[in-house]
Amino acid sequence: MSDGTPSRRAVLAAVARGFPLAAVPLALAACRGVQVLGSPPPPPADIRTLSAAITAEELMVARYRATIAQLPASDTAALLAVRTVQAEHIAHLAQLRSRLIQPAPHPSATPRPVTIPPGSAGSLLQALEQAEQAASDRLIGQLLVLPPALAQLFASIAASEATHVPYLRQVPGAAS
Amino acid sequence: MTTAVVEALQTALAAEHSACYGYGVVGAHLAEGSAALASAGADWIAHQQSRDQLAAMITDQGGQPVVSAVAYELPFPVTSASTAIQLAATMEDGVAQAYQAVVALRQPQLRSFGAQQVRTAALRAESWRGSTLPFPGLPPASLRP
Residues in Cβ contact with A75 at an 8 Å cutoff, skipping those fewer than 6 apart: A121, A173
pTM for the full predicted model: 0.85
User: What ipTM, to 2 d.p.?
Assistant: 0.96
**Contact between chains at A167 and B126 (C-beta distance less than 8 A):** yes
CATH 1.10.287.810 is the classification of domain B3-67+77-133? no
The architecture of the domain spanning A44-169 is Up-down Bundle (1.20)
Q: Do the Cβ atoms of B118 and A156 come within 8 Å?
A: yes
Q: Could you tell me what percent of chain B has a pLDDT over 90?
A: 96
The model's pLDDT over A64-103, given as tens digits with 9 standing for 90+, comes to 999 999 999 999 999 999 999 999 999 999 999 999 876 5
B56-75 pLDDT, tens digit per residue, is 999 999 999 999 999 999 99
Residue type at B47 in one-letter notation: H
Please judge whether A91 and B135 are an interchain contact, meaning their C-beta atoms are less than 8 angstroms apart. Answer: yes
- How many whole angstroms separate alpha carbon B19 and alpha carbon B92? 8
Residue B127 CA, distance from chain mean position: 14
Which residues of chain B neighbour A167 with C-beta distances below 8 Å? Answer: 126, 130-132
Q: Of the candidates B111, B123, B144, which has its C-beta nearest A166's C-beta?
A: B123
Chain A CB contacts of B143 under 8 Å are: 95
Q: Average pLDDT, whole number, for chain B?
A: 96
Short-list A67, A104, A108, A100, CA closest to A85: A67
Q: Is B127 on the interface with A (CB under 8 A)?
A: yes
Judge whether residue A146 has pLDDT over 60. Answer: yes
Q: Report pLDDT for A100.
A: 87
pLDDT, position A109: 55
How is chain A split into domains, by residue range? 1-41, 44-169
